[in-house]
């Protein structure tokens, strides 16, 4: 990594994190740090999960938002605060303002799901819907901010916000005084900045700090190569909370100086991690929260023989996303497969195939029978089967036995 000239004052920043820690007592949850037998076995390390998905508002964002608001002078508190967000920051600011007795205006894109709008309103915030994307909402927020004299609460590039997020590290250190690696999801960089400062102050270089971001928005990975924050084209991602086009100026400095590595994870890797957290860990995590585990399970971070902490940063995943993730997870685990076969279009042929599936304890989820496909010759039909398997190894047996009947069969990805 290319080092910047101005170095971070770790002592000063850490002092601020400790102040934030005291300030947040009784306001936010000291969330559990949970040892996972399953993920330890799958990764070869000793894996602990820091469960910020169980935090108030469902994510870590309330920490930085509350500490920033609490730090404002009385004259600014009297006028109120404003933020632009379509996600966890909106709810974090709304809740923090509510418990502080401060007016909050949240500008959200018009495309924001109704559930998130209602959740933000439920914390007492005034919601303004404007524009199609975050950038539109941000510009509107700055317009209102200037007109009404409100204080803008930045989602990540602010020392007080960073200090609030850093309190997570203090909780981890208090519960787990020795570990080797910490994996942190990276959006704008506020979370990993606060955590990195606390870790470096307490452990120096003895703990490896690794940031995780989606391949759809590799802003830190690319910016670190350039030695400065750069704008990176982004795509939609399951980890939508990590999709920003550019790192913050302050957060880039901190990450550049203190973080060992930033790695990226694919959408399938994120989906699999969400699925396994739900099925094995009984934990609902949004894509951003599952990203560290995705890096762990994919082998992109080697933790064999090491103690590792993965930050599950939030659990605000909507039900339609969870539905898609479950289906994709079942497919990735080969628990649900889709087969295509070209069969003779005569009575009894399909029954033979279904008997093979049943004898291997497969459950038919769906059947599509197409006599008009150009892939099938006269007297044949294309049949597609979606099959739920109790044993993933049964896939090969089913394909082999159907092939023995003289039919061409293939897996559809």
CA 119 centroid distance within chain: 19
How does DSSP assign 364-409, residue by residue?
EEEEEEESS-TTS-TTEEEEEEEEEESSTTHHHHHHHHHHHTT-EE
Pairing of strands 46-51, 33-36: antiparallel
**Torsion on CA atoms 209, 214, 216, 222, rounded to nearest 10:** 10
Report the alpha-carbon distance of residue 248 to residue 331 in Å, rounded: 37
Q: Which of 193, 237, 313, 331 is catalytic?
A: 313
E strand intervals along 207-303? 208-214, 261-265
User: Tokens standing for 162?
Assistant: 């960073």
What are the beta bridge partners of residue 263? 212
- Angle at the Cα of 112 (from 107 to 118), degrees rounded to 5? 80
Report the alpha-carbon distance of residue 239 to residue 27 in Å, rounded: 27
- The answer to whether 313 is a known catalytic residue is yes
Q: Which of 50, 56, 61, 395 is catalytic?
A: 61
Q: Which residues are catalytic?
A: 61, 313
């Amino acid at each position: 990594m290319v080092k910047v000239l101005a170095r971070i004052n770790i002592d000063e920043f850490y002092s601020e994190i400790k102040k934030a820690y005291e300030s947040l007592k009784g306001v936010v949850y000291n969330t559990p740090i949970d040892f996972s037998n399953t993920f330890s076995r799958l990764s070869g390390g000793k894996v602990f999960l820091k469960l910020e998905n169980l935090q108030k508002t469902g994510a870590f964002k309330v920490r930085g938002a509350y500490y920033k608001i609490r730090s404002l002078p009385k004259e600014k508190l009297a006028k109120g605060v404003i933020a632009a967000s379509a996600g966890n920051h909106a709810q974090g600011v709304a809740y923090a303002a509510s418990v502080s007795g401060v007016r909050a205006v949240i500008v959200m894109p018009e495309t924001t799901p109704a559930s998130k709008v209602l959740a933000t309103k439920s914390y007492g915030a005034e919601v303004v819907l404007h524009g199609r994307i975050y950038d539109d909402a941000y510009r509107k927020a700055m317009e209102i901010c200037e007109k009404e004299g409100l204080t803008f609460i930045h989602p990540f590039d602010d020392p007080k916000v960073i200090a609030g997020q850093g309190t997570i590290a203090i909780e981890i250190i208090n519960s787990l005084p020795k570990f080797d690696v910490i994996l942190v999801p990276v959006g704008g960089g506020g979370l990993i900045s606060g955590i990195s400062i606390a870790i470096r102050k307490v452990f120096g270089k003895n703990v490896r700090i690794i940031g995780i971001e989606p391949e759809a928005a590799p802003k830190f990975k690319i910016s670190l190569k350039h030695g400065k924050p750069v704008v990176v084209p982004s795509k939609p991602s399951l980890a939508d909370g990590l999709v920003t086009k550019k790192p913050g100026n302050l957060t880039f400095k901190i990450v550049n100086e203190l973080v060992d590595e930033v790695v990226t994870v694919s959408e399938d890797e994120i989906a699999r991690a969400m699925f396994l957290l739900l099925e094995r860990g009984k934990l609902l995590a949004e894509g951003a929260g599952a990203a560290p585990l995705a890096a762990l399970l994919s082998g992109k971070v080697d933790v064999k023989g090491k103690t590792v902490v993965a930050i599950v940063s939030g659990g605000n995943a909507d039900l339609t996303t969870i539905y898609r993730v479950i289906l994709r997870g079942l497919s990735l685990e080969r628990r649900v497969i889709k087969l295509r076969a070209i069969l003779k279009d005569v009575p009894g042929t399909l029954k033979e195939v279904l008997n093979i599936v049943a004898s291997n304890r497969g459950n038919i989820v769906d059947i599509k029978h197409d006599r008009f496909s150009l892939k099938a010759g006269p007297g044949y039909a294309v049949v597609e089967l979606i099959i739920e398997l109790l044993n993933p190894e049964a896939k090969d047996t089913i394909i082999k036995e159907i092939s023995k009947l003289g039919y061409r069969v293939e897996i559809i990805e």
